[in-house]
C-alpha cells in the first residue's frame, strides 16, 4: 500500500476500517484487499481494491461501503477501481486479522508464501490417512482444500502446519466438507473437543 500524502494516508485508514461484508469480524485492511488510494485535486479520490477471487460477489458491497465512508469524510467523487494484479492471497491477511478469525471460531489460513509458483495437483478428496507405526495406528489429516478441489500437493509451508481447532487448539482435525458458509471456507471438525468449525482455505 502506497500513500503519497497525509490525506491519502487518512483516507486509506478510513477505507481500511470498513468491515468485510462476508466476514464482518475483519476490516478490509485486515483482510488485505485494500491496495491504495490516490487523491485527484482536493475532493476526488480513487481507491484500488483487489477481490479475494475473480468474480467475488462481495466486491460490489465493499465498493459501496468505501464510497459511503469517504463521501462522509468530504470526498465529492469516489471511484473504486478493481485491481487484479498482483492477485490477492490469504497470506495478505494481517496477523491481527488472523487472530480475530481464531477468536471468532474460524481457523485462519496457513501461511504458504513462496519465492515462486505453488505447484498444484488435483485429486480425489482425502480427509484423513491412517498408517501403522510400531504396531500402533497413526491417523493424520491429509487434505488440502482449494476452491477447485483438493490438492494432493500442499503448499510447501503448509505441509508441516496442521489446521488447528480455533476452540481448543488441537491439531487433530478432519475435513467434513470442502465448502462451508462461503466458498472461501471449508468445514472441519476437531477430534479432541468434537466441535465443528470453519477453516479459511489457503489461496
CATH number at residue 15: 3.30.300.130
| pLDDT tens-digit readout, 47-85 | 999 999 888 889 999 999 999 999 999 999 999 999 999
Where is pLDDT greater, at 203 or 120? 203
Q: What is the CA radius of gyration of the chain?
A: 20
β-strand pairing of 44-49 with 77-82? parallel
> 33 - beta bridge partners?
none
Q: Looking at residue 114, what is its pLDDT?
A: 60
Whether residues 98 and 82 share a domain: the answer is no
**Domain contains 1:** no
**Domain contains 116:** no
- pLDDT higher than 70, residue 133: no
List C-alpha distances in Å: 11 to 17, 43, 159, 169: 10, 11, 39, 37
- pLDDT higher than 70, residue 134: no
Measure the CA–CA gap between 88 and 93, rounded to whole angstroms.
Answer: 9
| pLDDT tens-digit readout, 94-105 | 999 999 999 999
Whether residues 104 and 157 share a domain: the answer is yes
> 140 - beta bridge partners?
129
Q: Are 97 and 26 in contact, with CB atoms under 8 Å apart?
A: yes
Whether residues 34 and 77 share a domain: the answer is yes
**Number of structural domains found in the chain:** 2
CA dihedral 114, 120, 126, 131 (to 10 degrees): -60
Q: Looking at residue 55, what is its pLDDT?
A: 82
Q: Are 149 and 122 in contact, with CB atoms under 8 Å apart?
A: yes
- pLDDT higher than 60, residue 111: yes
**Domain contains 177:** yes
Measure the CA–CA gap between 155 and 118, rounded to whole angstroms.
Answer: 6
Q: Looking at residue 117, what is its pLDDT?
A: 56
- pLDDT higher than 50, residue 145: no
Q: Could you tell me which of 86, 91, 47, 94 has the C-alpha nearest to residue 67?
A: 47
Measure the CA–CA gap between 119 and 155, rounded to whole angstroms.
Answer: 7
Where is pLDDT greater, at 134 or 34? 34
pLDDT grade, residue 151 (50/70/90)?
A: very low
Whether residues 99 and 196 share a domain: the answer is yes
Whether residues 61 and 34 share a domain: the answer is yes
Q: Looking at residue 128, what is its pLDDT?
A: 52
Cβ-proximal residues to 3 (8 Å cutoff; 6+ apart), any chain? 9, 12, 36, 37
The arithmetic mean of pLDDT across residues 9-25, rounded, is 95
**Domain contains 117:** no
In which region does residue 37 sit, left (phi positive, over 0), alpha (psi from -120 to 50) or beta (all else)? beta
- pLDDT higher than 90, residue 112: no
Q: Looking at residue 203, what is its pLDDT?
A: 86
Whether residues 101 and 183 share a domain: the answer is yes
Q: Looking at residue 152, what is its pLDDT?
A: 43
Domain that holds residue 62: 6-88
pLDDT grade, residue 126 (50/70/90)?
A: very low
**Domain contains 184:** yes
Amino acid at each position: 500500500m502506497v500513500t503519497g500524502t497525509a490525506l491519502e494516508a487518512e483516507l486509506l485508514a478510513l477505507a481500511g476500517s470498513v468491515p468485510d461484508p462476508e466476514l464482518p469480524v475483519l476490516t478490509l485492511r485486515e483482510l488485505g484487499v485494500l491496495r491504495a488510494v490516490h487523491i485527484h485535486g482536493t475532493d476526488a479520490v480513487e481507491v484500488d481494491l483487489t477481490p479475494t477471487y475473480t468474480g467475488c460477489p462481495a466486491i460490489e458491497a465493499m465498493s459501496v461501503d468505501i464510497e459511503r465512508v469517504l463521501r462522509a469524510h468530504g470526498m465529492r467523487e469516489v471511484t473504486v477501481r478493481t485491481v487484479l494484479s498482483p492477485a490477492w492471497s490469504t497470506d495478505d491477511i494481517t496477523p491481527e486479522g488472523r487472530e480475530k478469525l481464531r477468536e471468532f471460531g474460524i481457523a485462519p489460513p496457513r501461511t504458504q508464501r513462496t519465492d515462486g509458483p505453488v505447484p498444484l495437483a488435483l485429486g480425489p478428496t482425502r480427509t484423513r490417512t491412517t498408517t501403522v507405526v510400531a504396531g500402533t495406528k497413526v491417523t493424520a489429516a491429509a487434505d488440502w482444500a482449494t476452491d477447485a478441489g483438493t490438492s494432493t500437493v500442499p503448499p510447501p509451508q503448509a505441509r508441516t502446519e496442521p489446521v488447528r481447532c480455533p476452540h481448543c487448539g488441537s491439531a487433530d482435525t478432519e475435513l467434513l466438507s470442502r465448502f462451508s458458509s462461503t466458498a472461501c471456507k471449508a468445514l472441519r471438525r476437531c477430534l479432541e473437543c468434537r466441535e465443528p468449525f470453519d477453516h479459511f482455505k489457503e489461496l
